[in-house]
Amino acid sequence: MNSHSTLRSYRILIVEDEKVTALDLKLTLEDLGYTVMACVGNGEAAIAAAEDQDIDLILMDIHLDTAMLGTEAAKIIMQRFGIPVLFLSAYTDDQTLEEASDSLPYGYMVKPFEKREVDAAIRIALTRHHADLELRRSEERLRLALEAARMSIWEWTPETDIELQVAVQHTPPQLISENLDDLLVNIHPDDRDKIRQQITSHHRFQQPVRFSKHEGNEYRWVELFASLFRWENGDRRVIGVLHDVHERYLADEQLRQANAVFNSTSEGILITDSQRRVLNVNPAFSHITGYSQEDVRGKNPDEFLHARRHSDQFYPRLVSDAQGHWSGEIACQRKSGEFFPAWEHVCTVLNDDGELQNFVITFSDIAELRRAEKNLATLAYMDALTGVGNRVRLEQVVREALADRTEAQGNVGVLYLDLDGFKLINDTLGHSEGDLLLRVMADRFKQSIREEDTVVRIGGDEFVIVLTGVEHEDNLKVVAEKLLLAVQEPVTLSREKVEVSASIGIVMSRPSVQEYEELLKAADTALFEAKRRGKNRYCIYDFALAMEFNERLRIERNLKQAIRKGELAVEFQPLVDLHSARVYGVEALCRWYHDELGMIPPDRFIPIAEQSDAIVDIGAWVLRESCRELRRWMDAGVPELVVSVNVSARQLTDSSFSELLTATLTEFNIPAAQIELEITETALQANDHVLRQLEHIRKSGVGLAIDDFGTGYSSLSRLKELPFDRVKIDRSFVRDLPQDANDIEICRAIMALCQVLHLRVTAEGVENHDQLEMLRELGCCCIQGYLFSRPMRPELMADWLQQADIRAMLE
């Protein structure tokens, strides 16, 4: 509104129930140059006109021709449409004036009135309304600015030296008043004293505090900026700004944490620009390589760190790759010139526009890992107790001999040997004496054969001797007799002299028996027959023993019926977490209770099942029963458990196994994280399909563990590539702890390897506290064994889980 002529262009609505008065007012307004949009006689019509028409001012009578007063209509119009109202009334009583005031009018004129008086009242009302609009727009701009800055305005009015009145303007801006104590209720208790001290001792202050707008809400970090002002009348006012800095504080906290990690991690870290020029390195980088930050700043890591440069396509391919990172082993060089193997991770950092900004390179020195792998690779082929070969070595030697065999070179002979009476010596004289006996026997076996022949111990007191270039079975008989005589020689142990004998099963490769598994089965069958005939003798695999082999096939067929007949059962053994002193899971173990033969040990029927399709059906049944029992425990309120289920190589090669696993978990509503699959090392020697299947299973959330670690798998260099979470140390390495130094070193090496690869470790076969303490000292986090419990039926296990005091058992 810049002129009188501009005022005259405004549109006015007349609300008057007396038609003569309304007409007179209309003529007066038009004579003054205003536009009269309409004349209505009641409040309802006024509200409708205000909604439908573009109106700048309403001249409103108070007493109209309906029950709605003009004051009521004016209040509704102001709240809904913000149109100013000027009352024209003949009433001046207190009640009418109070009701009119409640509707916040822009004027009140008493009838009758003159033409110039009406013009002046309208001009004043419109000018005031325009000023109000400007004020509201200014307040809205301030509100938006405060919201953008995440700030609020607050004002305190102190009444005394201690108590202050406070007015806080939140977003959207709204002044409220409260005393200091009420304000402090919304400030974190640890920050209140700082605010009191700042207010009473400083003219101006800035203080970060944790603030909650309403009781019970989450505290957020804000900054308070304030100044204290004094007026001439003695009043004091504290005026300031509250700035929400919660996200910035959290970001700063993350930066502080990242900086702590950067400076304290044991991995070397380099940060480069987009041109791969070094910007910064951490202390671990200097410790590993010997280079200081000044030595390498501005240089390309390929120039001083990598013994062999990355290819020219490496970094462009990394930038264009969707994942933007690469990990792998690379040879690096220290400042001294020494080379060392490193596991390196390179990733890209993009700015907000998606453009390359930095490369971040992290690496760790894995020289110690490589040494451990080398030691473990040697141990992988060697029986730790006797120094002869182990199962892995046996399979390697036999398969190579069978592959290289020609008619001119002769056949392959296998002698499967078991010591008679060893168990009695082991039980009466102790394990240490039994181990000494095994070492003596292993040395005698090596002295009784040719240098090119091989002695292996496959477990317990069982040995296998492999001879190559065998022309006749008579040659094998001569060796067997020599071995029997060697065993019969008395053995002087630590405390006394003992005598034992041996039983030997013999087989020679021939057209009907020419595979590794067939040779071992045949030799085992011949050994069983030698024992049955009275021990201290040998037996050659022949037609009669072939019939025995067929008997084993019948066992296999019975296995297929075992599930249908309800002869199989699942028992559970606890898995104990040493750090939390609680049972974190149980291992599911299959048992076969035959109607006629009684309980058949797993080591008797599982190997037979694994050589046939029966293991697939048995494995699926065990998985389903394990999930069924877990669901029952969960419904009964048993604390969350992980159930570990053994899976054979045959199951992993079955393309439908992943679907079976998913369907079983869905059927019983079991979270994937509560199931763990245990896979023996032998199973990992299968084809790439098995590895892809493991990757798929791991991505589903199901845990994976390597069972009987150290006894079967030889390609340890691939261990880091496999998707496992946990490693189970075989009981053969735990049994003689802490007395056996070799077992200690083996366990220590396994722990070191798993620590580098971030794998959890569980030790099997823990039976006493000496073993427990040694494993705890070596850093083992989980244990399993008779020290806590033997395998139990599900219902007994549920009760045991509720009652067992693990912490007491660990003491």
For the stretch 636-692, pLDDT in tens is 988 889 999 999 878 888 878 889 999 999 999 999 999 999 987 656 654 567 778
Residue 576 pairs in a beta bridge with 583, 783
For the stretch 532-555, pLDDT in tens is 788 899 999 887 777 766 667 677
For the stretch 85-110, pLDDT in tens is 999 888 888 888 888 888 888 888 88
Q: Which two tokens stand for residue 332?
A: 């690096």
Confidence of residue 693 (pLDDT cuts 50, 70, 90): confident
Q: What percent of the chain has pLDDT over 90?
A: 33
| Answer CATH for 150-249 from 3.40.710.10, 3.30.450.20, 3.10.580.10, 3.40.50.300 | 3.30.450.20
Q: Which two tokens stand for residue 792?
A: 């139990």
Q: Which two tokens stand for residue 554?
A: 């019948």
Is pLDDT of 174 > 50? Answer: no
Averaged pLDDT for residues 337-343:
90
For the stretch 188-205, pLDDT in tens is 888 878 777 776 666 666
Q: Which two tokens stand for residue 6?
A: 């501009």
3-state helix, strand, coil in the chain (%, to 5): 45, 25, 30
Confidence of residue 702 (pLDDT cuts 50, 70, 90): very high
For the stretch 363-413, pLDDT in tens is 988 888 888 877 776 777 888 899 899 998 899 999 988 887 765 567 899
Count other C-beta atoms under 10 Å from residue 478's C-beta.
11
Would you say 538 and 477 are in contact if contact means Cβ atoms under 8 Å apart?
yes
Domain 265-365, what fold?
Answer: Beta-Lactamase (3.30.450)
For the stretch 734-772, pLDDT in tens is 999 999 999 999 899 889 988 888 899 999 999 999 999
Confidence of residue 177 (pLDDT cuts 50, 70, 90): very low
Q: What is the pLDDT of residue 245?
A: 77
Highest mean pLDDT among 236-240, 460-464, 557-561: 460-464
For the stretch 107-162, pLDDT in tens is 888 888 888 888 888 888 888 888 888 877 776 666 655 555 555 555 555 544 43
Distance of CA 524 to the CA centre of its chain: 46
Confidence of residue 182 (pLDDT cuts 50, 70, 90): low
Averaged pLDDT for residues 717-740:
85
Is pLDDT of 8 > 70? Answer: no
Confidence of residue 809 (pLDDT cuts 50, 70, 90): confident
Domain 556-806 top-level CATH class: alpha beta
| Answer CATH for 4-144 from 2.102.10.10, 3.40.50.2300, 3.10.20.30, 3.40.50.300 | 3.40.50.2300
Q: H/E/C letters for each residue in 497-509? A: EECCEEEEEEEEC
Each domain of the chain, given as residue ranges in start order, spans 4-144, 150-249, 265-365, 373-541, 556-806
Q: Considering Cα of 291, then 296, then 297, then 300, what sign does the dihedral take?
A: negative
Angle at 228 between CA 225 and CA 229, to 5 degrees: 135
CA distance to 381, 572, 582, 715, 794, per residue, from 586 (Å): 31, 6, 11, 29, 10
Angle at 202 between CA 197 and CA 205, to 5 degrees: 90
Q: H/E/C letters for each residue in 747-792? A: HHHHHHHHHHCCCEEEECCCCCHHHHHHHHHHCCCEECCCCCCCCE
**Residue 66 φ then ψ, to 5°:** -125, 180
CA distance to 606, 619, 695, 700, per residue, from 650 (Å): 12, 9, 17, 21
Q: In one letter, which amino acid is 272?
A: T
Query: How high does pLDDT run on average in the chain?
Result: 83
Domain 373-541 top-level CATH class: alpha beta
Sequence-distant (6+) residues with CB within 8 A of 517 are 611
pTM of the model: 0.41
Q: H/E/C letters for each residue in 228-281? A: EEECCCCCEEEEEEEEECHHHHHHHHHHHHHHHHHHHCCCEEEEEECCCCEEEE
Q: H/E/C letters for each residue in 710-743? A: CCCCCCHHHHHHCCCCEEEECHHHHCCCCCCHHH
Q: What is the pLDDT of residue 489?
A: 92
CA-to-CA distance for 373 and 381, rounded, in angstroms? 13
CA-to-CA distance for 112 and 117, rounded, in angstroms? 10
For the stretch 601-645, pLDDT in tens is 888 788 778 767 788 889 999 999 999 999 999 999 888 899 999
For the stretch 151-171, pLDDT in tens is 555 555 554 443 333 333 333
Collect contacts of 581-584 with beta carbons under 8 A, ≥24 apart: 581/806, 581/807, 581/810, 582/639, 582/806, 583/641, 583/801, 583/804, 583/806, 584/641, 584/642, 584/782
Q: What percent of the chain has pLDDT over 70?
A: 85
Sequence-distant (6+) residues with CB within 8 A of 314 are 326
Confidence of residue 717 (pLDDT cuts 50, 70, 90): low
